[in-house]
């Protein structure tokens, strides 16, 4: 068992684990808002619901989650689409809640801005810190 987990860790690394966690999370959250969204969510992101219905946003989360799951297994130099898919949904939700609070759609929307924004920021920081280094060879 220990050897198998070591092989998985070697394959995934920090970036892959972050994408795996985000992928599972986005799929489950997307399914919940596509099937039966909570009242507070609907009120908080009212600005997005003027663009598309809630089930479409739910499927967007699911799609981003699937992309995260696919990209968690690819080398770090090729996982940028997955990192974008891990950052965009929570960042979009954070902005939507901020706008919902500012426009008066929900008086408690401000409470969701930091949690969603922090996840997007943490994934972006992790992506930057663990980015593949490129060797630059100079001829002198």
The helix (H) or strand (E) run that includes residue 10 is helix 2-35
pLDDT digits (tens, 9 = 90+) for 11-39: 789 999 999 999 999 999 999 999 999 88
DSSP codes of every residue in 90-101:
HHHHHHHHHHHH
- Structural domain boundaries of the chain? 12-129
Instruction: Please choose, from the candidates 17, 36, 18, 40, the residue with its C-alpha nearest in 3D space to the C-alpha of residue 28.
Output: 36
**Cα 16 from Cα 83, distance rounded (Å):** 9
**Cα 35 from Cα 31, distance rounded (Å):** 6
pTM above 0.85, yes or no: yes
Q: Does position 136 have pLDDT exceeding 80, yes or no? A: no
**Cα 83 from Cα 4, distance rounded (Å):** 25
């Amino acid at each position: 068992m220990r050897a198998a987990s070591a092989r998985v860790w070697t394959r995934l690394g920090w970036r892959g684990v972050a994408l795996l966690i985000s992928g599972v999370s986005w799929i489950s959250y997307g399914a919940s808002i596509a099937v039966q969204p909570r009242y507070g969510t609907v009120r908080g992101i009212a600005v997005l619901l003027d663009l598309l219905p809630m089930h479409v946003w739910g499927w967007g989360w699911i799609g981003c989650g699937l992309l995260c799951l696919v990209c968690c297994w690819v080398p770090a130099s090729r996982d940028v689409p997955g990192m974008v898919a891990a950052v965009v949904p929570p960042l979009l939700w954070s902005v939507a809640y901020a706008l919902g609070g500012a426009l008066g759609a929900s008086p408690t929307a401000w409470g969701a801005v930091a949690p969603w924004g922090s996840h997007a920021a943490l994934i972006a920081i992790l992506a930057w810190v663990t980015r593949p280094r490129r060797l630059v060879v100079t001829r002198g």
